[in-house]
Amino acid sequence: MSTKKFVLTETTKEFYGVTLYQIKAVRPIERFGIKEGELGGWVEKEDNLDHSGDAWVHGDAWVHGDARVYGDARVYGNAWVYGDARVYGDAWVYGDARVSGDARVYGDARVYGDAWVYGDAWVYGDARVYGDARVYGNAWVYGDARVYGDARVYGDARVYGDAQVESRKHIFVASSVGSESDTLTAYTIKTGEIEVTRGCFRGTLTEFEDAVNRRHRESRYAEEYLVLIQFIKLRFREVTVSVEEDSSRGI
């Protein structure tokens, strides 16, 4: 008995010299309501979509290059997955979203709208990346984080927990700081507060300032962190004020 769940049809389209083949299901995929014989999306080769699991590509979605979709993942709409990207677990990529490079989208993550995830970025857990957001470099977005609007998460940034990054004004990233030359990331969370991640630390900006004063006291690292803390307060002042005003109006 064949273990295949799809075949490449003779229906093709060309994309910058790459031939893409429309796929057709050869067995039902109940998870997504796919019937045997139903046409799916487009792949360059069979390796782009794993035959095991319920993963599926449908609509006008494209998967090509050395990209792979597997597990119970779903790629649909006008989404593109290419390069060496991986989409797996129960992740969904849809709308006009793009996942490329060595990026990973997995767990119960969702990437949609016009969002792009690329480079060596990871989006996982219950994270959502959408709108015109970009996640790239070595950035990680995970947990219950939400990144959307015109937000940019990049470098070695770590955005997670209850993060709610609506725009470029809602995040700040500083590289090579502190005694370990690590990356500091500051972002807004759902309560409107500012949260900071740096190495193993994760907490509010106030908690971070207290931790710096306890651990580093009058060292040059304390000076460095305290300057950054003041900058973050200034950078986020407009954002936090608007959140407080909205809260006072019951919005």
Distance CA 72, CA 52 (A): 9
- Return the C-alpha torsion angle 239, 117, 114, 196, nearest 10: -10
Q: pLDDT tens digit string along 2-22?
A: 589 999 999 999 988 999 999
Neighbours of 251 (CB within 10 A): 7
Q: Where are the domains of the chain?
A: 1-143, 167-251
Neighbours of 47 (CB within 10 A): 11
H-helix segments, the chain = 205-215, 220-248
Mean of all residue pLDDT scores within the chain? 91
Instruction: Please name the amino acid found at residue 172.
Output: F
Question: Can you identify the CATH homologous superfamily of domain 1-143?
Answer: Hexapeptide repeat proteins (2.160.10.10)
Task: Please report the sign of the dihedral spanned by the C-alpha atoms of residue 248, residue 129, residue 196, residue 228.
Answer: negative
Distance CA 58, CA 80 (A): 11
Q: pLDDT tens digit string along 154-205?
A: 999 999 999 999 999 999 999 888 777 889 999 999 988 999 999 888 999 9
Q: pLDDT tens digit string along 216-237?
A: 777 888 889 999 999 999 989 8
